[in-house]
Amino acid sequence: MKPAELLAKIRVVLCRPSHPGNIGAAARAMKNMGLSSLYLVTPRQFPDPEADARATDAVDILAAARVCASLDEALAGATLAVALSARPRDLGPQPRAVREAVGDLLAAAARGEVALVFGNETTGLSNEEVQRCHAAVTIPANPEFSSLNLGAAVQVLCYELRLGAYGGTPPSADPTTPFASPPATHDEVEGFYAHLERVMTDAGFYNPAQPGRLFPKLRRLFGRIRLEKDEINILRGILAATQEKTGFGRRD
Amino acid sequence: MKPAELLAKIRVVLCRPSHPGNIGAAARAMKNMGLSSLYLVTPRQFPDPEADARATDAVDILAAARVCASLDEALAGATLAVALSARPRDLGPQPRAVREAVGDLLAAAARGEVALVFGNETTGLSNEEVQRCHAAVTIPANPEFSSLNLGAAVQVLCYELRLGAYGGTPPSADPTTPFASPPATHDEVEGFYAHLERVMTDAGFYNPAQPGRLFPKLRRLFGRIRLEKDEINILRGILAATQEKTGFGRRD
């Protein structure tokens, strides 16, 4: 796959951005590096003249940006979601330095859509948002002042990806078994979780009113696997067979 | 020389910056990456509240910034001056990609003071300014839109220098989540597979007489992660709850 095609398969997702200027800066950084697909999850203010001003010639990326009501909506169709996070999170994936992860991200982009997920300027990503991602990356920084501006963080990630795509970093060999079937998309994986929750609830193993840490733990478990489409079918087949046999929980 | 000492010997010189916000963004990017020495050649407006706002916790770098009447004044004491330039200039040094040049810049910083020289937001560096520098670097970019925001360009250079100073790529972290609970032993994992097989058989999803490729696929799925003891307990808990509810398959 050509470098430009690889970069076209990488989307930038900004969760709850507060400042329209940062949205514009992100769009500019993306276009400078050859990325184009921008998703905004409940931006405080968008569109906005300040976003346009900071985007300069990247206003086309703003015009095509998709505004989403939830992170799940922004991740629909993606087969790998990568959180930018300065620190490890409760039950979330362990962050790797961006440069180390670039080969894996590009290898994933050759097979499916990849999402880079950035948090709010002040609060970053929530634990729940990080838990929806399969991997996490961090930008090595001064430990006494490690919080980069949102647009600057987007710039660094897009820069590393461009250099990687244009031959700086060879795509990594897949560390696990090669995919026998295409990777499952975010929404397919979420469909499996919803199905599992239904069966677990009906079996009395799980009480949605008192969720505790059970589901974050299951997300962490299956998130490490990077499920394939066929595997989702097998897992949902097992769940459906259980429901069929017992008659409980058949609601779809 | 320690990495922090090397970075302390690299100054950022902004020539004729137009927007105070970019000066603040440059200060923040510098401090994020461990640089501290900022020189401003005839800034249009400085100090300025917009610069302070964009600098956030890097206002100390703005407060210590030296405002100079000429580029020569800003380069006084430097032993190497490096221009950021997207293109070769008449009689100027040939630009190299930043990443290729980082080793040389750090080697020079070990011997003396190094200056990174950035041009005006709209016009860039003049030929005369580039000719005052000993070397030039460029940030690889989309040829159709290669002009980075000034603060973003400072971010990329400081990021490369920090990674270079701290030894390139930091040692590999485990790409997956660290173990929250000890890893499961082989026999614990096999116990889970046996339990799963029982439930699947009783649910009519699996026929041990005609196994096909289903179990190899499930082994491949769960084998890609290293299951933890707690996770085995959760998975077997779900299976047991299903059996409890329906009465089938209770054989242990």
CATH topology of domain A186-246: Helicase, Ruva Protein; domain 3 (1.10.8)
List the single best residue of B28, B138, B238 to mutate versus A (max A Cβ within 10 A): B238
d(CA A17, CA A121): 6
A18 CB within 8 Å of a chain B CB: no
A24 CB within 8 Å of a chain B CB: no
pLDDT in tens, B89-135: 766 778 899 999 999 999 999 988 999 999 999 999 998 898 888 89
Name the residue among B29, B222, B244 with its Cβ closest to that of A152: B29
Name the residue among A33, A234, A245 with its Cβ closest to that of B246: A245
List the single best residue of B54, B122, B155, B201 to mutate versus A (max A Cβ within 10 A): B155
pLDDT in tens, A23-59: 999 999 999 999 999 999 999 999 999 999 999 999 9
pLDDT in tens, B182-207: 878 878 888 999 999 999 999 989 99
CATH topology of domain B3-165: Alpha/beta knot (3.40.1280)
* Mean pLDDT for chain B overall: 89
Q: Average pLDDT in the A115-128 region?
A: 95
Give this complex's ipTM: 0.83
- Stated pTM of the model: 0.85
Residue A171 pLDDT > 70: no
A90 CB within 8 Å of a chain B CB: no
- The residue count for chain A: 252
d(CA B118, CA A49): 27
Q: Which A positions 112-141 lie with beta carbon below 8 A of chain B?
A: 135, 139-141
Q: Which residue of A has its CA nearest to B139?
A: A159
Q: Which B positions 146-175 lie with beta carbon below 8 A of chain A?
A: 146-149, 151-152, 155-156, 159, 162-163, 166, 169-170, 172-175
Is the fold of B3-165 the same as that of B186-246?
no
pLDDT in tens, A129-144: 998 898 999 999 999 9
pLDDT in tens, A141-154: 999 999 999 999 99
| Helix (H), strand (E), coil (C) string for A166-186 | CCCCCCCCCCCCCCCCCECCH
Q: Which residue of A has its CA nearest to B179?
A: A91
Residues 6 or more apart whose CB falls under 8 angstroms from that of A88 comprise A94, A95, A136, B178
The angle formed by the CA atoms of residues B54, B59 and B64, to the nearest 5 degrees, is 130
pLDDT in tens, B18-66: 999 999 999 999 999 999 999 999 999 999 999 999 999 999 999 999 9
pLDDT band at B248 (very low <50, low <70, confident <90, very high): low
Name the residue among A25, A225, A238 with its Cβ closest to that of B149: A25
A54 CB within 8 Å of a chain B CB: yes
d(CA B78, CA B98): 19
d(CA A215, CA B212): 31
pLDDT in tens, B167-183: 854 433 444 445 567 87
pLDDT in tens, B134-166: 899 999 999 999 999 999 999 999 999 999 999
Amino acid A198: pLDDT: 94
Q: Average pLDDT in the B223-250 region?
A: 83
B33 CB within 8 Å of a chain A CB: yes
d(CA A102, CA B201): 43
The angle formed by the CA atoms of residues A72, A160 and B35, to the nearest 5 degrees, is 110
Q: Which residue of A has its CA nearest to B143?
A: A32
> What does the domain layout of chain B look like in residue ranges?
3-165, 186-246
Mapped onto helix, strand or coil, the DSSP state of residue A249 is coil
The angle formed by the CA atoms of residues A223, A226 and A229, to the nearest 5 degrees, is 125
